[in-house]
Amino acid sequence: MIYNEEFETMPREVIKALQAKRLQQALERVYHTVGFYKKSFDKAKVKPDDIRSIADMNKLPFTTRNDMRDNYPFGLFAVPMSSVVRLHASSGTSGRSAVFGYTKRDIETWSDLIARSLVAAGITKNDIIHNAFGYGLFTGGLGLHYGAEKIGASVIPISGGDAKRQLMILQDFGPTVICSTPSYALHLAEEGQTLGIDIKALKLRVGIFGAEPWNDAIRDDIEKVFGITALNLYGLSEIIGPGIAMECMEGRHGMHIFEDHFIVETIDPQTGAVLPEGEEGELVFTTLTKEANPLIRYRTGDISRLITEPCRCGRTHVKMERVLKRSDDMLIIRGINVFPSQIAAILVDIEGLEPNYQVIIDKVGALDTLDLQVEVNDKIFSDSGSIKELQKIEKRIIKDMRDYLGISARVKLVQPNTLKKNDAKIIDKRHI
Amino acid sequence: MKVEQISVFLENKPGTLEDATRVLKEANINIRTLSVAETVDFGILRLIVNDVEKANKVLKESGFRVSKTPVVAVEVPDKPGGLHSIMEVVSKEGINVEYLYAFVEKSGQNAVIIFRFDNPEKAIDVLTKKNFTVIPGSKLYEF
């Protein structure tokens, strides 16, 4: 099924023409309304008029995560706050996160994209959707929610956490669709089995998963344990949230990028050069219709490959392979994006100096774990030498990791010189 | 009147305590008394030694995290009610005991109890007034 047949099945040349026209308008708009873009275009000596076609895009400068941080909180907005109806944000210590604004029409657009994604998964108004993506500043929960309501499905806004309650509702309300990170779904299954719940007997038939890397082996596990079809949804908050690309039912062959709203490029992460379609590279997105928070050539850090072969589902939009790699050191832990620099920042704030530390990321069952080993420095210990003070520091680290990054960490204080200078600060033992 | 205790941070794993005692042995430091407090992940070795400065120095030089903590040593007769008589006094004064450990003197007559009070000055003051024997560091180190 196709939700928006007119746009989703447009002939390629019509999509290209629509993109070129919308790009022109978007460039004009950002140049005149966002100070950052005027400056960056001027610096690159390019005017919106110089971009006549998509082939000209490589003349435009990139937008990066650093640009978002430098313009925190609202510096990249193209509309006054009176036109903004929603704010979302990525995790991070204050000043290091990024804020995303939405106008009323942006919310409409986003809902439409999610509606397309759900319909692509065969979901209708007769479905009950158990939405276990986090509600709040994170875009996952509310993004899915509005799209699900748009197609008339019944939404259970359960959000994340509290597995026992989730399982009770899965049994009692009989949802037919589950939306979550893949690892959380597996975690629910494990918990359910421990409680003696017959997971296969649940009414679930489709799962929409995203927000963290996963592969077909994990997909096989999920499909087997729940007896459902598991599909991949791609998004990132900077661009709009979930709903940038969605897998169709045609056999695990990538996700259609909704090209009437976004232009995707793949670039060489080292040189920034645009790569031919189909080569593996960093995904770069330009928003064509976003009003509050338009972005031009945003470097996602996600490494993927575009699939241009026509799809049997009838959609003409280009597809992308699932993202399994990053061009930077960003980690995804239980669906939350974390940069090692954010962890360092938390520790520095607590001690006033950077202590030696090591982060070990692993999996227990389906769930990611984060262990943080911090060497006890003289400053921590010499004042008190008491267990109470040390435990206070452990608790503070755990609390700050949760408050600023939304991550549950296990903290262990270790003796000096346990960690060698050249030891990796981050060890990721998960294998995907 | 206060006594200086050496506190050493130790990870809770085999070998760490041995490393610390080796350093002390090689520096010819005698331990008067000690206790170990532990949590799941780490412990703190608390020592009363004959040479505080030297112990502090050699342990630090060997890479241990060390701090000097003021504690109070009180001598009581080694018989029932000895500890209780002290507790009666400090609790009446609202002084909190964070931890304590004890040893019996060589003569076998008296016990020495090492207290970590939240307010050591006040504790020394009230205990002295009540005629308890508060042992100064200089004397305790040479016991």
Q: Which two tokens stand for residue A337?
A: 């994006």
Q: Which residues pair with B33 in a beta bridge?
A: B48
Task: Looking at the structure, tell me whether residues B10 and B57 fall in a common domain.
Answer: yes
CB A416 within 8 A of CB A348: no
Domain assignment present for residue B143? The answer is no
Task: Looking at the structure, tell me whether residues B116 and B75 fall in a common domain.
Answer: yes
Band (pLDDT 50/70/90 cuts) for residue A386 is confident
CB-count burial class (<10 Å; 0-12, 13-18, 19+) for A80: exposed
- Give the sign of the dihedral formed by CA A208, CA A213, CA A215, CA A221: negative
Task: Looking at the structure, tell me whether residues B50 and B83 fall in a common domain.
Answer: no
Residue of A nearest to B37 (CA): A387
Vertex B117, ends B116 and B121: CA angle to 5°?
A: 115
Q: Is B35 on the interface with A (CB under 8 A)?
A: no
In this predicted structure, the answer to whether residue B93 has a pLDDT above a threshold of 80 is yes
How high does pLDDT run on average in chain B? Answer: 92
Alpha-carbon distance of B64 to B60, in angstroms, equals 5
Long-range contacts of A422-428 (CB under 8 A, 24+ apart): A423/A358, A424/A358, A425/A340, A425/A344, A425/A357, A425/A358, A425/A359, A426/A329, A426/A331, A426/A340, A426/A358, A426/A359, A426/A361, A427/A358, A427/A359, A427/A360, A427/A361, A428/A331, A428/A361
Yes or no, beta carbons of B9 and A387 under 8 Å apart: no
A interface mutation test: which of B18, B67, B69, B116 has the most A CBs within 10 A? B67
- pTM, two decimals, is 0.80
Task: Looking at the structure, tell me whether residues B97 and B44 fall in a common domain.
Answer: no
Region for residue A130 given its phi and psi (left: phi exceeds 0; alpha: psi -120 to 50; beta: otherwise): beta
Point out the residue among A376, A386, A391 whose CB comes nearest to the CB of B65.
A376
Alpha-carbon distance of A309 to A278, in angstroms, equals 10
Task: Looking at the structure, tell me whether residues B117 and B89 fall in a common domain.
Answer: yes
Task: Looking at the structure, tell me whether residues A313 and A380 fall in a common domain.
Answer: no
In this predicted structure, the answer to whether residue A346 has a pLDDT above a threshold of 90 is no
Task: Looking at the structure, tell me whether residues B23 and B38 fall in a common domain.
Answer: yes
Burial A26-53 (b: 16+ CB within 10 A, else e): bbebbbeebebbeebbeeeebebeebee
- Percentage of chain A surpassing pLDDT 90? 74
Domain assignment present for residue A245? The answer is yes
Vertex A355, ends A344 and A427: CA angle to 5°?
A: 60
| Number of domains present in the structure of chain B | 2
Domain assignment present for residue A20? The answer is no
Predicted confidence (pLDDT) per residue in A259-277, tens digit: 999 999 999 999 999 999 9
Domain final position from A278, A305, A328: A328
Task: Looking at the structure, tell me whether residues A191 and A78 fall in a common domain.
Answer: yes
Question: How large is the ipTM?
Answer: 0.79
CATH code assigned at A128: 3.40.50.12780
> How large is the average pLDDT for residues B15-23?
94
How far apart are the two ends of chain A, measured CA to CA in Å?
31
Return the beta strands (E) in B2-50 as ranges: 3-11, 31-38, 42-49
Predicted confidence (pLDDT) per residue in A186-199, tens digit: 999 999 999 999 99
SS3 assignment, position A185: helix
In this predicted structure, the answer to whether residue B18 has a pLDDT above a threshold of 90 is yes
Alpha-carbon distance of B74 to A110, in angstroms, equals 73
Domain assignment present for residue A59? The answer is no
Predicted confidence (pLDDT) per residue in B59-91, tens digit: 999 989 999 999 999 999 988 999 999 999 999
Band (pLDDT 50/70/90 cuts) for residue A375 is confident
> How large is the average pLDDT for residues A85-89?
96
In this predicted structure, the answer to whether residue A361 has a pLDDT above a threshold of 80 is yes
Task: Looking at the structure, tell me whether residues A146 and A224 fall in a common domain.
Answer: yes
Predicted confidence (pLDDT) per residue in A320-335, tens digit: 999 988 998 888 898 8
Amino acid at A342: Q
pLDDT number for residue B129: 95
Alpha-carbon distance of A50 to A257, in angstroms, equals 26
Task: Looking at the structure, tell me whether residues B15 and B50 fall in a common domain.
Answer: yes
CB A297 within 8 A of CB A267: no
In this predicted structure, the answer to whether residue A69 has a pLDDT above a threshold of 90 is no
Domain final position from B69, B103, B123: B69
| Domain extent at residue B28 | 3-69
Give B 51-70 residues with CB within 8 A of chain A.
63-69
Is the backbone peptide bond immediately before A73 cis, with ω within 30 degrees of 0? Answer: yes
Predicted confidence (pLDDT) per residue in B94-129, tens digit: 999 999 999 998 877 899 999 999 999 999 999 999
In this predicted structure, the answer to whether residue A352 has a pLDDT above a threshold of 60 is no
Q: Is A391 on the interface with B (CB under 8 A)?
A: yes
Yes or no, beta carbons of B11 and A418 under 8 Å apart: yes
| Domain extent at residue A366 | 336-428
Alpha-carbon distance of A300 to A315, in angstroms, equals 24
Alpha-carbon distance of A237 to A259, in angstroms, equals 17
| Number of domains present in the structure of chain A | 2
Domain final position from A267, A296, A328: A328
Task: Looking at the structure, tell me whether residues B61 and B83 fall in a common domain.
Answer: no
DSSP B42-57: EEEEEEEES-HHHHHH
Chain B residues close to A412, C-beta within 8 Å: 41-42
Chain B residues close to A377, C-beta within 8 Å: 65
SS3 assignment, position A35: helix
Chain A residues close to B98, C-beta within 8 Å: 386, 388
Task: Looking at the structure, tell me whether residues A240 and A379 fall in a common domain.
Answer: no
Side-chain-facing half-sphere of A332: CA atoms under 13 Å:
19
Q: Is A421 on the interface with B (CB under 8 A)?
A: no
pLDDT number for residue A382: 73
- Percentage of chain A surpassing pLDDT 70? 97
Rounded to a whole number, what is the largest CA-CA distance in chain A?
72
Amino acid at A247: E
